[in-house]
Structure 1
Amino acid sequence: MKGLQQTGMVAVWILTIGMSLLAICYTMIIPFLPVYLLELGVEQEGLALWSGLTFSISFFVAAVMAPIWGRLADRHGKKLMAIRAGILIGVSYLMAAFVQDAFQLLLVRAFQGFANGFMPAAMTMVSLSVPKERVGTAMGIFQMGLVLGNTVGPFTGGLTELAVGMRPVFLVAGITLFIVTAAVAIFVKEPIVETEIPVQVSSFMDDLREAKRNRVLIHILALYFVVQSAMLMLQSIVAIYVGDLKGSMEGAAMLAGSILSGGGVMGMITTNLWAAYGQRKGYFKGISYALLGTGMVLILQSLPFGLWWFGALQLLIGVFIVGIFPSLGSAMTVNTDPSVRGRVFGLATTAQQLGNMMGPLFASLVATYFGISYVFSVAGLGMIIIGYVVLKVYGQRPNIQE
């Protein structure tokens, strides 16, 4: 048994390193898509709209495909789905390096949405590689890898964009994805699913009907959607907001990347504290406090007092926001059967991708009609309300039910 646990933790660490590299590639690119659109000839007046479309189309396609990939993962293996996603995402990054206009980038982003699925497959393997009572620890380690990637990526992407433009960033990301995929294929074994419930062939509607019988799962999926919407509202406009505070878009990508990386450093320091807290006191309690703290700081960030104010508060954002998703993943793990874990994470990914799609669109509307700073206040208020509701409804719920 001890040997199996050690083998499981080896898989957790390999997947964490792979996810960290994937996150670096992602955050080297995503916050700076508006800058790339400017390089491709989009006028400043239409930048918010094109940014919203370019962000959202990938997430819409990914939302459609996520439950399909989740079911295939349950039937044919999570490792196979991770390899499939890694290869296709790498190809999509290489394609993005050679686009000539905004419409071509839009098509490539749609293909990226089709290719998506590495993260839910990796999270599923992590959740199945350790005993249920250690899920919080494993998810905390995995989240640490994500936070590390989110820390290094923006700074690296901003620095590269400043030096040579965005195209080389896509090339590096594509090659990195191929290396990560090869490592997973060679070193990670398919986890053994211990359950008395056989894996069944089901449709997306079957999965939804099954999920409706699990009230807690439905609420977790709703949380994934709402939180991801709020986060992508911010991510799609942060470079533009930094440019506004600075008074010019020149060097805004580098500055935005540095600010985001600072928040990532604080998140990396505190991620295991959140994981330990959730494992001891309850994952939902951890979720609620992380949401409340994030929301309050976002409202403070909406006050346009300058770059130093925004940057300092971003450090505090990193402390709170890192506590949300590992606790959500852990709460979902302890409230679902291992035999449907792939499909459940597929549904969670669909909820996230729908949030990813709606967030940038909503942000572009708020920014266009009210101003960019209002995006932060709207997102912050939403997180405070949701955090309060979670605390009232599930704040006393234990992780493992008797």
Structure 2
Amino acid sequence: MPLWKRNLLVCWFGLFVSGVGMSQIAPVLPLFIKQLGVEDASSIAQYSGIAFGVTYMISAVFSPVWGLAADKYGRKPMLLRASLGMALIVGCMGFAPNVHVLIGLRLLQGIITGYGTACTTLIATQTDQEHSGWALGTLSTASIAGSLLGPTIGGLISESFGMQNVFFITGALLLVAFITTLLFVTESFERREQKVLTLKELWRQTPEKSLTMTLFATFLILTVALYSIEPIITVYITHLSDNLSHVALIAGLTFSASGLANIIAAPRLGKLSDKIGAHKVMLGALIAAGIIFIPQAFVSSPWQLMGLRFLLGLTVAGLSPSVHILIKKITPPALAGRVFGFSMSAGYLGVFAGSVLGGQVAGWFGARYVFLVTSALLMLNAVWVYFRVYTIMSSPKETAS
């Protein structure tokens, strides 16, 4: 097996578990906070929002920092640091004596993260141009699927083994990711003593500034679209069927349906990107995703919604790999870690912004409007991508290069 394929396999497992570790707390958080002694319903809701969101907000800040460290010290050390750190921190959450300690540990989890940045940089810099679309497409399934399947996995573990064991089992899986990374990831990295660039200097050395910012914005909007449904999914499922039992489980499966589709479609769309160009796949996926959001506002049963969420996963599977393929193409290798770090920051901000957007739109206008607003965002982004990415990448000059 080629070295890059072996590293891809190990990184996929670690990134999937990392995604689960970041998101598995969502369905059990309110119940766990109540178990920690918070009785008031409004206080539980407030603490739940803080505990869930703080990890992603802090991750957005520290992701470029770890990207810089990956460029300076190597990607494998960052993988080991992040996986071992998260294993210890997530495991300790099961022993949290009160809600403030839990929030503090979630904050630490956001600081120590960086597994995704290191994985993406490692695979992007090791894989040849011919296979980069397939490799990055396959890798993207791990992060997105882990994040989307995390709530369902957390709910199932909680039901079967108890809430505390959600943290212990996830911590153990992260420890396995650390061990497999230590044993099987191989990196040939030559450390070079070089000046640490300031943000201004980094921006000055970035060749395609406008294109890079467009790709960051597209990745942010993609994650907003994926997570806008999270705060309203249970309420929406309940509204669709008053007599439905196991609402929480059905809601988790519905939310995770797009993650399953992503696992199926992303490698294939990544391979298609290698053949026809990532910019073409990106534009088509944005338009298709924008269209598929519209009927989700008018479904009459949870199963219809689940089917549409699955179709959505098939389309958005072409977005994350396309963003990373184009970033790799336009970014010098020496800057790859930091640039991918900022890309991951955009994704983390998108998770937070999507959750806030979904809750606010549902509160003011109703749950159905969440899907329509998200559709409009994707369509507007498609127009922007057409003029700022598609036309540029389709020009004879770019095609020749």
Q: For the superposition of Structure 1 and Structure 2, which TM-score range results when normalised by the shorter chain?
A: 0.7 to 0.9
Q: 1:169 to 1:224 in 2, by over 3 A?
A: same
CA contact (8 A) 1:52 1:360 kept: no
- 1:70-219 matches, cutoff 5 A: 70-146=67-143, 149=146, 153-192=150-189, 199-211=194-206, 214-219=209-214
- 1:299-310 matches, cutoff 5 A: 299-303=294-298, 305-310=300-305
CA contact (8 A) 1:334 1:400 kept: no
Contiguous gaps of at least 5 residues in structure 2: none
CA contact (8 A) 1:233 1:363 kept: yes
* Cα distance in 1 for residues equivalent to 2:361 and 2:14: 36
* Cα distance in 1 for residues equivalent to 2:316 and 2:378: 10
CA contact (8 A) 1:162 1:253 kept: no
| Partner SS for 1:395 | helix
| Higher alpha-carbon deviation: 121-130 or 269-278 | 269-278
| Higher alpha-carbon deviation: 183-192 or 73-82 | 183-192
Q: CA deviation at 1:217?
A: 1.2
* Cα distance in 1 for residues equivalent to 2:34 and 2:241: 17
* Cα distance in 1 for residues equivalent to 2:302 and 2:39: 26
User: One-letter code of the match for 2:183?
Assistant: I
Q: 1:33 to 1:269 in 2, by over 3 A?
A: same
Q: CA deviation at 1:126?
A: 0.7
User: One-letter code of the match for 1:93?
Assistant: V
Q: 1:217 to 1:42 in 2, by over 3 A?
A: farther
- 1:356-375 matches, cutoff 5 A: 356-375=351-370
Establish whether residue 18 from structure 1 lines up as the match of residue 20 from structure 2: no
CA contact (8 A) 1:21 1:180 kept: yes
Q: 1:29 aligns with which of 15, 21, 25?
A: 25
| Higher alpha-carbon deviation: 245-254 or 269-278 | 245-254
* Cα distance in 2 for residues equivalent to 1:191 and 1:253: 46
* Cα distance in 2 for residues equivalent to 1:102 and 1:329: 37
Q: CA deviation at 1:292?
A: 1.8
* Cα distance in 1 for residues equivalent to 2:356 and 2:382: 23
Q: Deviations over 1:277-332 (max 9, x none)?
A: 22222212211221222222222212352312211212211211211111111111
User: One-letter code of the match for 2:367?
Assistant: I
* Cα distance in 2 for residues equivalent to 1:358 and 1:144: 21
CA contact (8 A) 1:240 1:249 kept: no
Partner of residue 323, structure 2: 328
Q: 1:110 to 1:385 in 2, by over 3 A?
A: same
Partner of residue 254, structure 1: 249
Q: CA deviation at 1:394?
A: 2.3
User: One-letter code of the match for 1:112?
Assistant: Q
Q: CA deviation at 1:58?
A: 1.4
Partner of residue 295, structure 1: 290
Q: 1:150 to 1:230 in 2, by over 3 A?
A: closer
Partner of residue 383, structure 2: 388
> TM-score, structure 2 length as denominator?
0.87
Q: CA deviation at 1:247?
A: 4.2
Q: CA deviation at 1:149?
A: 4.0
Q: 1:215 to 1:335 in 2, by over 3 A?
A: same
Establish whether residue 337 from structure 1 lines up as the match of residue 315 from structure 2: no
Q: 1:233 to 1:147 in 2, by over 3 A?
A: closer
Partner of residue 7, structure 1: 3
Q: Deviations over 1:187-227 (max 9, x none)?
A: 11224479xx9854123443344448622112111222222
| Partner SS for 1:234 | coil
Q: 1:156 to 1:48 in 2, by over 3 A?
A: same
* Cα distance in 1 for residues equivalent to 2:154 and 2:353: 25
* Cα distance in 1 for residues equivalent to 2:39 and 2:238: 16
Q: Deviations over 1:84-108 (max 9, x none)?
A: 1112212221232233554443322
Q: CA deviation at 1:263?
A: 3.1
| Partner SS for 1:202 | coil
User: One-letter code of the match for 1:58?
Assistant: T
User: One-letter code of the match for 1:186?
Assistant: L
Contiguous gaps of at least 5 residues in structure 1: none
Q: 1:273 aligns with which of 262, 268, 271?
A: 268
| Higher alpha-carbon deviation: 86-95 or 332-341 | 86-95
Q: Deviations over 1:157-215 (max 9, x none)?
A: 33222334432111111111011012112211224479xx9854123443344448622
CA contact (8 A) 2:21 2:90 kept: no
Q: CA RMSD in A?
A: 3.0
Q: CA deviation at 1:148?
A: 5.6
CA contact (8 A) 1:12 1:129 kept: no
| Partner SS for 2:228 | helix
- 1:220-259 matches, cutoff 5 A: 220-247=215-242, 251-259=246-254
* Cα distance in 2 for residues equivalent to 1:311 and 1:192: 44
User: One-letter code of the match for 1:9?
Assistant: K
Percent of counterpart pairs with the same letter?
Answer: 24
User: One-letter code of the match for 2:390?
Assistant: G
CA contact (8 A) 2:211 2:388 kept: no
* Cα distance in 2 for residues equivalent to 1:32 and 1:388: 39
* Cα distance in 2 for residues equivalent to 1:100 and 1:346: 34
